[in-house]
Structure 1
Amino acid sequence: MPPSTTVQRAIAMMSEAKQSCVLIVADQRLLGIFTERDVVKGSANHSLIKTQPLAEVMTQKLITIEVSETNDFFALSRLLSIKKIRHLPVLDKQEQLVGIITPTSIRKLLRPEYLLRYVRAADVMARQVIHGLPDASVMALTKKMAHHRVSCIVIINHQTFVPIGILTERDIVRFQQMNLDLNQTFARDVMSQPLSTMQPQDSLWDVNQRMHELNVRRLVISHPTGKLAGVITQSQMTKMLDPAEMYHVMKQMQETIDRQTSELKQLNQQLQTANLELDQLSKVDELTQIVNRRKLNEFLDQEWSRLGILGKPLSLIMCDIDHFKSYNDLYGHIAGDKCLREIAQTLRKATRRTSDLVARFGGEEFAVVLPNADNNGAERVAKKIIAQIQQLEIPHSSSSANGCLTVSLGAATVIPNQSNSPEMLLQAADRLLYQSKQQGRNRYSLELLAVSPSVAS
């Protein structure tokens, strides 16, 4: 606008165009600037005379930049931050006005999504928020804005400290254009509400998106409880593009990534440990605390392959508690469970080698795997099992062996090869166990299984 334009006309045009300043120009040459902050300051100290020409109230000493110097996006952001200005007029080589750069124009080009996603609102928001009450006059709040040199006043509920509205510099410009009596106008009647707020943990990217959606230059930040936490302005968003600030943020990002990587490694280790423990638990019989049939099958397959390569024998003893159903009927299931645990521990004691495996096959049946044990070794273990079970002297009135609980065994030995399988060994031991039952129980039956002729040759 020309320097002869009145303050009143300038305010009206700023309000209508929703612009934060008026540039005073004569013959395309920039003379000065008149901003929203000038309106707030003049309103606060009653020096705003609307009939005055802009030439008498404009700021004349301006920081400007040539259009040829506008190719460094970050340098422009840094200049606004260092000089603490919000308006940077752009001139050509003839010093004629060609445009203006503001935090708003920079924010419209703001696209560092990955950077802003890692920064929380809490990291950059202004925590010392100038606030007022809803029954305060606009004049009192305007003076407060001018005194603290801030662009807005957050209106709060005085009891809960919850933000309920906001008054901005642009609102003061609009009120002046409407010729409102600021002393007789109260915040509750003119503040912008309902208030759109975000939380400290929200990312700056989300804050930036919300500013775009609402077409606002600042956002109030509230705690999850609703209480006022801070304010983020466009100037703070622009400051993020300062190379020094970006370096600081990138350093924070790296620290965050390093911390998260370390935490992820720890979680992976914990997960691996938990999976290992879970895998082990899935192979342990809950009642007897020895391995179950799943682990038995895995162990048999593993030893079958290993001993087959070495040409060494593998023995398997199947063990069944004699008359166990009648034992449960006579003494109850609690006693039956205790009996199963005692048998399991006795079988463990009877097989002292670390390479041997004792497993619960199912119900009252157990399996003992003896790697690298021939039929003589299997027979020694079978005799020891029967003897140690008898030594327990577990009462069983239905037993024919002096009224004590006994077991029957079937032991089979084979040299593993590709023409037979662990299932064949299991079937043979089970057949021998049935044979012991048929012959009167409390005994073992033993057999050395023949090697396939094709393998022997």
Structure 2
Amino acid sequence: MQQTSEIPDLLAKSQSAFLTLPPTTFLQQAINSLAQAKVSCALILENGELQGILTERDIVKTTISQKQLNELTVAELMSSELFTIKTTEVKDIFAVSRLFSQHRIRHLPVLDEENKLVGVLTPQTIRDHLKPEYLLRYVRAREVISKDVVTGLPQESILAIAQKMTQQRVSCIVIMDEKNAYPSGIITERDIVRFHSLGLDFQQVIAQNVMSCPLSTMQPLDSLWNIHRKMQQMGVRRLVITETTGELAGIVTQTQLLKILDPTEMYHVMQQMQTTIEQQTEQLQQLNQRLKLANQQLAKLAELDELTQVVNRRHLKKFLAQEWIHHQQFAKPLSVIMCDVDHFKAYNDTYGHLAGDRCLAQVAQALREVIRQNSDLVSRYGGEEFLVVLPNTNQQGAECVAKKIINKLNNLRLPHSSSSTSDYVTLSLGLATIVPNGDVSINTLLSMADYCLYQAKQKGRNTYITKVQA
């Protein structure tokens, strides 16, 4: 947001809307001009020279003196001791913003090198120019809120309200509901100016009849950016902050917003932002890690047979494709064993489908216990069929695994009274071994294994048949 290229724009904004009056202007006329222009001050010029400034606060002070406004001129009321700045001195927008708090001012007239008035800067001018969205998003109202709020009652006269403003040196009075002590309205310096232009009787008119209501409020956890936007939308310079219960929490003014944009304050805010970003980054990393693990788990479940807890044909297809390419590249033998539970339909008819499910799960577990855990694969192939993939395994190695499978099942001694082969559950196995090349495919290997399985069943079951592709 630094500065040199933005200064002309800032100076242009200072010239956009300000009111000038001669010192001979009667005060009532000046008040009407301020109310009509909806500005917070009038700059007093005589022969082109800046003589002083008349602010809303000056008018509030005059109100409590109860002097006849038609008898007073601007010259009698204006502040002639002015703090001004030359156009050539407007080099650093942050240095300019600090002047408002250092000198306790809300208006900064801008003069050229010949001391001619060219404009006026206010906290709102600076704030609007900086467009501090990203910074203000990270600061909450509770961090800057002013809790020393001057309050009034609905039945108080607007003269009493003006007196409080002057005595307490504040720009607004929050009107509190007498029944529940909640804020119900607000009266500002600008309202006092407007009341004068309307010719209201300050002693007779009470606050509840003229206060701004219903009161638009924000809450302590609202960001300053949202508060800034609401101020702009409503055309106001302060917002009342209430707790979620409706109780008065404090007030945020445009001066407080501007203070946040001071480089010193910005450093602290940036530190808070950095801490917040680091915390959010860590949380995001943790969420991403959990999401990654969850996705991995989902991917695993998507390729796992729910009943037997071995991989399904979807995973088998990918695994075989990868192994086929690898074995073809290095001319290594790839073997598979197609397994089928003998007389499984009769088993289901005798023991029921739930028992059949448990039987298949036990067979799958037995197959997993026989294979090499780091390289081989057991997959449910369909119904009561399983396929065992044996990478880098020749015919002799595949036969060794087949014998282990048959022995493992025989040792399980799972009862099967309806089997014509044995009193226990048995498997028939079809073995196939191939060295992948361009003349054969995965389907060739599977067809060989299926044919051998058929031959094993024809041979009497509970055995294996093997075939090697030359």
| TM superposition score normalised by structure 1 | 0.86
Partner Cα distance (2:363, 2:180) in 1 = 70
1:239 lines up with 2:259 in the alignment: yes
Take 1:117 and 1:133, find their aligned partners in 2: how far apart are those partners? 34
Distance 1:427 1:165, change over 3 A: farther
Task: Please name the residue that 1:432 is paired with.
Answer: 452
Give the CA deviation at 1:246. 3.4
Query: Partners in 2 of 1:119 and 1:231 — Cα distance?
Result: 15
1:8 partner SS: helix
Aligned 8 A contact 2:346 2:419 in 1: no
Q: Provide the residue aligned with 2:416 in structure 1.
A: 396
2 CA distance for matches of 1:127 and 1:203? 17
Confirm whether residue 17 of structure 1 aligns to residue 37 of structure 2: yes
Match of residue 327, structure 1, among 333, 337, 347: 347
CA shift digits 1:100-153 (9 cap, x unpaired): 222233344343444445545454443554444544443444344334322223
Checking the alignment, whether the CA contact within 8 Å between 2:151 and 2:176 is kept in structure 1 is yes
**Superposed, which structure 2 residues align to 1:177-256 within 5 Å?**
177-200=197-220, 202-222=222-242, 228-256=248-276
Please name the residue that 2:309 is paired with.
289
| Distance in 1 (alpha carbons) for counterparts of 2:319 and 2:108 | 79
Contact kept? 1:156, 1:165, Cα under 8 Å: yes
Confirm whether residue 274 of structure 1 aligns to residue 294 of structure 2.
yes
Aligned to 2:364: 344
Question: Quick check: 410-419 or 123-132, which moved more?
Answer: 123-132
Aligned-residue offset at 1:347: 0.9
Give the CA RMSD over aligned residues: 3.0
Give secondary structure in 2 for the equivalent of 1:109: helix
**In 2, Cα distance between the equivalents of 1:395 and 1:159?**
85
SS at match of 2:389: strand
Q: What is the alpha-carbon distance in structure 1 between the residues aligned to residue 155 and residue 347 of structure 2?
A: 87
Task: Between 114-123 and 283-292, report the one with greater CA deviation.
Answer: 114-123
Q: 1:176 aligns with which of 196, 208, 212?
A: 196
Pair 395,63 (structure 1): closer, same or farther in 2 beyond 3 Å: same
Amino acid at match of 2:78: M
Deviates more, 1:153-162 or 1:3-12: 153-162
Give distance in 2, aligned partners of 1:293 and 1:134: 79
The alignment partner of 1:369 has SS state of strand
Deviates more, 1:150-159 or 1:29-38: 150-159
- Per the alignment, residue 10 of structure 2 pairs with none
Amino acid at match of 1:243: P
Aligned residue type for 2:335? S
Using the aligned pairs only, state the percent identity.
55
Identify the residue that residue 106 of structure 1 maps to in structure 2: 126
Match among 60, 68, 83 for residue 63 of structure 1:
83
The aligned residue for residue 151 of structure 1 is 171
Residue identity matched to 2:327: L
1:166-187 Cα distance to aligned partner (Å, 9 max, x none): 2211111222333434444333
How far apart, in 1, do the equivalents of 2:290 and 2:240 lie?
41
Q: Is the 8 A contact 1:304 1:422 kept in 2?
A: yes
Match status 1:8 vs 2:8? no
1:133 and 1:386 map into 2 onto residues whose CA distance is 96
What SS is found at the alignment partner of 2:101? Answer: helix
How far residue 42 of structure 1 moved from its aligned partner, in angstroms, is: 4.2
Distance in 2 of aligned mates of 1:159 and 1:405: 86
Paired residue for 1:416, among 416, 428, 436?
436
Q: Is residue 2:316 matched to residue 1:316? A: no
| Alpha-carbon distance in structure 1 between the residues aligned to 2:395 and 2:168 | 97
Taking structure 1 as reference, are residues 254 and 333 closer, same or farther at Cα in structure 2, changes over 3 Å only? same
Partner of 1:36: 56
CA contact (8 A) 1:7 1:49 kept: no
Alpha carbons 2:399, 2:466 under 8 Å: kept: yes
> Structure 2 vs 1, CA of residues 92 and 391 (structure 1 numbering), >3 Å: closer, same or farther?
closer
Q: Deviations over 1:36-84 (max 9, x none)?
A: 123334445x465533444443333221222332354332212112222
* Length-normalised TM-score, structure 2: 0.84
Which residue number corresponds to residue 425 of structure 2?
405
Q: Is the 8 A contact 1:78 1:243 kept in 2?
A: no
Which letter does structure 1 place at the counterpart of 2:381?
F
* Structure 2 Cα separation of the partners of residues 124 and 405 of structure 1: 79
Report the residue type matching 1:327 in the other structure.
Y
Aligned to 1:27: 47
Instruction: Confirm or deny that 1:377 pairs with 2:381.
Output: no
Q: Which amino acid aligns with 1:28?
A: G
Gaps of at least 5 residues in structure 1 are 451-457
Q: 1:85 — aligned with what?
A: 105
Q: Alignment partner of 2:299: what SS?
A: helix
Amino acid at match of 2:231: M
Q: Distance in 2 between matches of 1:358 and 1:84?
A: 82
User: Residues 78 and 241 of structure 1 are in contact (CA less than 8 Å); yes or no, is this contact kept in structure 2?
Assistant: no
Q: 1:163 to 1:298 in 2, by over 3 A?
A: farther
Q: Which moved more, 1:220-229 or 1:325-334?
A: 220-229
Query: Does the 8 A contact of 1:39 with 1:48 survive in 2?
Result: no
Structure 2 residue identity aligned to 1:246: M
Question: For residues 136 and 315 of structure 1, do their structure 2 counterparts lie closer, same or farther at Cα, with a shift above 3 Å needed?
Answer: farther
* Letter matched to residue 462 of structure 2: N
**Code of the aligned partner of 2:104:** K
Matched residue, 2:386: 366
Instruction: Give, in whole Å, the separation in 1 of the partners of 2:214 and 2:318.
Output: 67
SS in 1 for 2:170: coil
Amino acid of the residue matched to residue 289 of structure 2?
A: Q
Q: Give the Cα–Cα distance (whole angstroms) in 1 for the partners of residues 155 and 443 of structure 2.
A: 89
> How far apart, in 1, do the equivalents of 2:387 and 2:404 lie?
15
Alignment partner of 1:286: what SS?
coil
Query: Does the 8 A contact of 1:120 with 1:204 survive in 2?
Result: yes
* Distance in structure 1 (CA, Å) of the matches to 2:251 and 2:150: 9
Which residue identity is paired with 1:165? G
Cα separation, partners in 2 of 1:88 and 1:335, compared to 1, 3 Å: same
CA distance in 1 between partners of 2:422 and 2:343 (Å): 14
Note if contact 1:118-1:253 (Cα within 8 Å) is conserved in structure 2.
yes
Structure 2 match to 1:441: 461
